[in-house]
Amino acid sequence: EDIMTFARDELGLTPQGFVASGIKGPKGNQEYIIQLLAP
């Protein structure tokens, strides 16, 4: 959610949502995909 706030407040993008990626990172961490709408 920090990324969504940054995208909205600092970049002027509108977050549309996010989902967990089906791919794990190299150390097993969970990756996410965020959809942002440009003005």
Q: Average pLDDT by consecutive 10-residue portion of the chain (39 residues)? A: 92 96 90 94
pLDDT the model gives residue 38: 96
Query: What is the predicted pLDDT for the residue at 33?
Result: 93
pLDDT value, residue 6? 96
Q: What gap in Å lies between CA 18 and CA 6, rounded to an integer?
A: 14
pLDDT of residue 18: 93
Closest to 20 measured CA to CA, from 32, 7, 4, 35: 32
pTM of the predicted protein model: 0.68
